[in-house]
A = this chain, B = another copy of it.
Amino acid sequence: MKRTLGTCYYPEHWPQDIWAEDAKRMVEAGLSWVRIGEFAWSRIEPSPYQLDWQWLDKAVETLGNAGLKVIMGTPTATPPRWMLDKWPQMLAVDASGAPKKFGSRRNYCFSHQPYRLECQRICALLAKRYGDNPHIQAWQIDNEYSCHDTTLSYSEAALAEFKRWLKNKYDSIEALNNAWGNIFWSMEYNSFAQIQLPNQCVTDPNPSHLLDFKRFSSDQVVTFNRIQAEVLRKHSSAPLIHNYMGRITDFDHYKVGADLDIASWDSYPLGFLEDRSEEGDDWKLHFSQQGDPDFQAFHHDLYRSVGRGRWWIMEQQPGPVNWAPYNPAPLPGMVRLWSWEAFAHGAEAVCYFRWRQVPFAQEQMHTGLYTADNNPAPGLAEASAVAAEIETMPEVSTASAQVALVFDYESDWAWQIQPQGASFNYFKLVFDYYRALRSLGLSIDIIPPDSTSLENYKLVVIPGLMSFNTQLTAAIECFSGSVLAGPRSGSKTANFALNLQPPMPGINNKVSYVESLRPSVELPLKDSGKVFNWIETTTGDDPVIERTACDRPVLIGTDKRQYLTAWADREALIAMLKKLCVAEGIAVQELTEGVRVRETKTHRFVFNYNPQTVQYNGVSLAAAAVHWELL
């Protein structure tokens, strides 16, 4: 498949007389796609039921006539001000009980039924008008679900829907009391009507209560999205997309993705490094103008899974952004590197956000491909270079990986609810495994926790999975490759009780107790590396593969089924994973720090995330360089 480029454009921000010139320049820059409309509700429907299509018709026509394919966004992330007069109860409510006011975006509660109908209505109007418009080649539903911490809402609407959801799940209040263990601390309910949302308690609420509230909240995103998907499909055959964010786990992306055709994500490598990375200062300093060398790839692989193979970058950082604690410029070459890395991981399209820096309102300091006074910004040349390279190089196709990594949203909720140690962070744990695998030069598939078959892989790693469901258990049982799981994998039942059985299929030991360790505690291993943060003590006869220097077992099991009882550092993880790869005949190469590779069916791409030149297999890679070679 030919990879494509695009951009995000807001015709409503600019005089109509420059639209055509903008469209012409987009095409000249080598862009194919242009996303519009996703924040324009107040212009489409300036007051209730008074619709203004003229400008949008003209925008679509102008862009389409220039040769661009249009992604039409549904504007439901930014209800206009009059909507709040109509539905004052539609506002999301935070954990302190305060409703979110108008004046930014994403202030709606997913559970508010009338607002859902309003969204259905505006989608239907858009779909009817543009469903068969040839320029509309894709739809984006809403924008960045959960951005700004907007999945959870403690509104009356949410409470009403939560009770309904629980009734549907448990049928009887006795079943709920039993599932949650409400006998503990006299938390038993007499009826579903007594259920409250789990905020503002004296101390921790029941973890089962919290987990069900997280599941419910995630499901509300799923059904909110589905309503729009259904109405769009009625009138259009163009693919449906949502643009997810980086490191957001408050809803189950796999479930939202199941109703869509393509997953996309908004990739801001420098913003995410400063805003969402737990790495230390030295790391952030080294990569401050390049981004974390594994963060983008992780999300590429994750969203390829969410999109069941089809995925895009909907928003690609083209220069400094406005929202992170610190906002430097990318090192020259990084915009190109990020774009090619996405393609190497299978992206169909990369769209730059935004076409032109807008001189007003919240994002006026966010750069674009053009400056606010309409001069080319540094990102433009790199985007155009990528466009030219796409034209001249053969098509690249996604290769299949030999290693799979299970990533599970529910596990993140579970360990947020009961971390047991202040340092326990599921995303970090999975990411540590991912980074170790990538450091070995491996291509990785990220797979969901309900995968029914693992037969495409030789090695499957499953860190911190709350609970093995029946599908995954069955898949492991008939899997001929190797599985490495833990720590904490399989430690709970689906109801958030302790699992009193062995933690994973193929392991016989049981976990007797766990210890969380203060940051200064480190236990070196006999072999290489060390463990920290977390260590479990198991009981049973499973062989011990690796121990601490003080002789505590940390890796137990057999050649093919291994359970890691502790949080291992990078050196230890690399050593353990390398042994498993060698045993399974998976080729590994230990990469220089900051160098990463990804193979497609035909090529090996090499990326230098470092700010200095490095050597890779005899090739000299300049700072921010991309290199590709035929396999």
Q: Report A's interface with B, CB cutoff 8 A.
A: 12-13, 39-43, 46-47, 75, 78-82, 85, 92, 96-107, 147-148, 150, 180-190, 194, 196-209, 274, 281, 284-285, 288, 319-320, 322, 325-329, 357-365, 367, 371-373, 375, 377-378, 418, 420-423, 495-498, 500, 510, 512-518, 520-521, 537, 539
A39 to B206, CA, bound (A): 14
* Residue in contact with A208 in the complex, picked from B85, B360, B497, CB distance below 8 Å: B360
Of all chain B residues, the one with the shortest Cβ separation from A372 is: B498
- A200, B101: Cβ atoms under 8 Å? yes
Residues in B whose Cβ lies below 8 Å from that of A281 = 518, 520
Partner of A103, one of B187, B364, B512: B187
* Distance of A369 from chain B, by nearest CB (Å): 12
Contact assessment for A362 and B206 in the assembled complex, using a CB-CB cutoff below 8 Å:
yes
Contact of A202 among B148, B188, B514 (CB under 8 A): B148
Given contacts A202-B107, A512-B375, contact A521 B100 (CB under 8 A): no
Q: A500-B359, A517-B328 in contact; A188/B104 too (CB < 8 A)?
A: no
When A373-B500, A521-B288 are in contact, do A365 and B184 touch as well, CB less than 8 Å? no
Minimum Cβ distance to chain B for residue A380 (Å): 12
A284 to B277, CA, bound (A): 27
Give the interface centre of A47, A100, A496, A513 by most chain B CB atoms within 10 Å. A513
Q: Can you sample 23 A-B contacts with CB below 8 Å?
A: A47-B190, A81-B189, A100-B200, A102-B187, A102-B194, A102-B201, A104-B187, A104-B201, A104-B205, A105-B203, A181-B359, A184-B363, A187-B361, A284-B518, A319-B513, A320-B516, A322-B420, A326-B516, A359-B500, A365-B418, A371-B512, A372-B498, A377-B512
**Given contact pairs A78-B186, A285-B518, A521-B328, A360 touches B200 in the complex (Cβ within 8 A):** no
Residues of B within 8 A of A371 (CB): 512-513
Check if A422 sits within 8 Å of B104, measured CB to CB: no
Report the minimal beta-carbon distance from A427 to chain B, rounded to whole angstroms: 19
Contact B80 A186 (CB under 8 A): yes
In contact, B196 and A103 (Cβ under 8 angstroms): yes
Instruction: Please report the C-alpha to C-alpha distance between residue A614 and residue B537 in the assembled complex, in whole angstroms.
Output: 28
Which chain B residues border A180 with CB–CB below 8 Å? Answer: 360-361
Q: Are A181 and B361 in contact (CB under 8 A)?
A: yes
A interface, over-half SS:
loop
Task: Flag if A98 contacts B12 (CB, 8 Å).
Answer: no
Alpha-carbon separation in the docked complex, A371 to B148 (Å): 41
Of all chain B residues, the one with the shortest Cβ separation from A364 is B498
Q: How far is the CB of A433 from chain B (nearest CB, A)?
A: 22
- List 8 A-B pairs, minimum CB-CB distance, nearest first: A181-B360, A184-B361, A42-B186, A359-B498, A78-B186, A181-B361, A103-B205, A325-B422
Beyond known contacts A81-B194, A357-B498: 10 more, CB 8 A cutoff:
A12-B183, A82-B190, A103-B205, A105-B203, A284-B520, A327-B515, A329-B515, A360-B497, A365-B418, A371-B513
B513 touches A206 (CB 8 A): no
Q: Are A185 and B320 in contact (CB under 8 A)?
A: no
Q: Is the CB of B420 within 8 A of A327?
A: yes
Contact partner of A184 (CB less than 8 A), chosen from B188, B284, B320, B360, is B360
- Cβ of B104 and Cβ of A202 under 8 Å apart? yes
Cβ A103 vs Cβ B206 within 8 A:
yes
Please, which residue of chain B has its CB at the minimum distance from the CB of A520?
B285
Residues in B neighbouring A421, C-beta threshold 8 A: 325-327
- Closest Cβ–Cβ distance, residue A572 to chain B (whole Å): 20
Query: What are the residues of chain B within 8 A of A182 when measuring CB–CB?
Result: 42, 361
What are the residues of chain B within 8 A of A39 when measuring CB–CB?
184-186
Q: Whose C-beta in chain B lies nearest to the C-beta of A367? A: B513
The answer to whether A43 and B80 have CB atoms under 8 Å apart is no
- Give, as a whole number of angstroms, the nearest-CB distance from A75 to chain B: 7
Knowing A181-B360, A326-B422, say if A202 contacts B150 (CB, 8 Å): yes
Residues A104 and B375 in contact, CB atoms below 8 Å apart: no
Interface centre among A200, A319, A361, A365 (most CB of B within 10 A): A361
A285 cross-chain contacts in B, Cβ below 8 A? 518, 520-521
When the two chains form their complex, are residues B46 and A188 in contact, meaning their CB atoms are under 8 A apart?
Answer: yes
Complex alpha-carbon distance, A421 and B288, angstroms: 14
Residues of B within 8 A of A496 (CB): 360
**What's the least CB distance linking A124 to chain B, in Å?**
19
Q: Smallest distance from the beta carbon of A125 to chain B beta carbons, Å? A: 15
Residue pair B101, A196 in contact (C-beta under 8 Å):
yes
Question: Given A196-B101, A517-B326, are A187 and B42 also a contact pair (CB < 8 Å)?
Answer: yes
Inter-chain CA distance A359–B197, complex, in Å, is 23
Alpha-carbon distance between A182 and B373 when the two chains are bound, in angstroms: 19
Given A39-B185, A103-B198, A203-B106, are A327 and B516 also a contact pair (CB < 8 Å)?
yes
